[in-house]
Amino acid sequence: MLLSRLKGLTMASGHTVLMRLVASAYSIAQKAGTIVRRVIAEGDLGIVEKTSPTDLQTKADRLAQMSICSSLARKFPKLTIIGEEDLPSEDVDQELIEDGQWEEILRKPCPAQYSAIKEEDLVVWVDPLDGTKEYTEGLLDNVTVLIGIAYEGKAIAGVINQPYYNYQNNDKQKLREHSKEAKAGPGAALGRTIWGVLGLGAFGFQLKEVPAGKHIITTTRSHSNKLVTDCVTAMNPDDVLRVGGAGNKIIQLIEGKASAYVFASPGCKKWDTCAPEVILHAVGGKLTDVHGNALQYDKEVKHMNSAGVLASLRNHDYYASRVPESVKNALVP
């Protein structure tokens, strides 16, 4: 008995900081997804307008961020955690804390280049509810919870929770009923969590590609302007999908619904792109700014992706080559 206990302790202590953090972030993102569903089920979104009518914050944003950041900080006190919402420091209700971890992740090997990383070397970028405007309008398949992990300025691990994956009906009354039941149709579980680590892979979805030769562009639904329109048009698209949420757009790329994500605007932030970038890069895709530069995620970096976002699963050079010079000149890194 003592021997088996010692063996268990040895195994637990043998997990690297990175894999323990990803395993915890997975469970924490699931908890946040539950909070996002619960707020709608209760019927009071508590909407606050931040900088404009398209820049909103809800009770779900606030509670989910408190849950994520507090849960991570308790387990990993030396982490740098940067969340989207500017919230006052206060004691967090114990019911918001998630201390579990996804054991399946701990069974995976940590890529050798990350095995010696220390807690204090990591920066975590948190978007507690990506696609807030769509959330307030009942476009629930646009919504994600994003936890991205960066090391030496590079996004290396990420978790995306889709609270309403499998939800096919946007009728608000039915939504409240389904939220309480946590079901979406007969026997279908509501929500899913995708995760990835560079050098290991990405998990929780089925990789698909847009048919060869097709150029389907996904872009912003609620933050468009002339630069965005000019850049999208320059891609000579067969189709354009206008949806909310950076996390949602990257999922479109990895599930074969779109071939490129084009956002020629400074409106996207580091917490929007950190986790999705990892998932995309882990399956061979690429995310850059419109100039083709890699995004930086160290703790001192400015939060705004001021030179926009350009992402694709394949043929990134093709899309980068079509960005108009007028767009590049307008968006300075």
Q: Which residues are catalytic?
A: 61, 132
Euclidean distance between CA atoms 278 and 269, whole angstroms: 15
Backbone angles phi, psi at 72, to 5 degrees: -65, -45
Q: Is 130 annotated as a binding residue?
A: yes
Please list, in sequence order, all residues whose beta carbon lies within 8 angstroms of the beta carbon of residue 310, skipping any fewer than 6 positions away: 260, 261, 262, 263, 287, 288, 289, 290, 292, 316, 319, 320, 323
Contacts of 254 (CB under 8 A, 6+ apart): 202, 205, 207, 208, 279, 280, 283, 285, 313
129 is known to lie in a ligand binding site: yes
Q: Where are the alpha helices (DSSP H) in the chain?
A: 2-14, 17-42, 59-75, 103-106, 132-136, 172-181, 226-234, 246-254, 270-282, 316-321, 325-330
CA distance 293 to 237: 23
Q: Is 209 annotated as a binding residue?
A: no
Annotated binding residue 127: yes
Q: Which sign, positive or negative, has the C-alpha torsion 34, 35, 37, 42?
A: positive
Annotated binding residue at 298?
A: no
Which residues belong to the annotated binding site for Mg(2+)? 84, 127, 129-130, 272
Which residues belong to the annotated binding site? 84, 127, 129-130, 272
